[in-house]
Copies of this chain bind each other. A is one copy, B any other.
Amino acid sequence: MTRVVVDVMLKPEILDPQGQAIQRALPSLGFDQVTAVRQGKHFELEVDGSDAGAVADQVARTLLANPVIEDFRVHVAD
């Protein structure tokens, strides 16, 4: 069994209102040093078999990300 991590982010040209809301809240909490925030999704999959990375890539493409507006990265953890 292999642990695979998939991170899904909005493409850079797509507005990210969640990230912007966080960024706007930070100065009033004392965090002036943070100049940009973008929020995405993080998935941890456990995959059986030898081709875990390829399976996770297909899962990400089919179900986890919307390739029109999102990019994803797959990392095989062990």
A binding-site residues for B, Cβ under 8 Å: 1, 7-9, 19, 22, 25-26, 29, 31, 33-49, 52, 55-56, 58-59, 62-64
Contact = CB atoms under 8 A, between A and B. Distances in A.
Contact of A59 (B9, B31, B39): B31
Task: Specify how many copies of this chain sit in the oligomer.
Answer: 2
Given A42-B40, A42-B42, A63-B22, A33 B9 contact: no
A42 B74 CA distance: 13
A39 B31 contact: no
A55 B56 CA distance: 33
B22 A34 contact: no
Given A34-B56, A35-B46, 14 more contacts: A7-B42, A9-B42, A9-B44, A22-B43, A22-B64, A26-B59, A26-B63, A35-B47, A36-B46, A37-B45, A38-B43, A38-B44, A39-B41, A41-B41
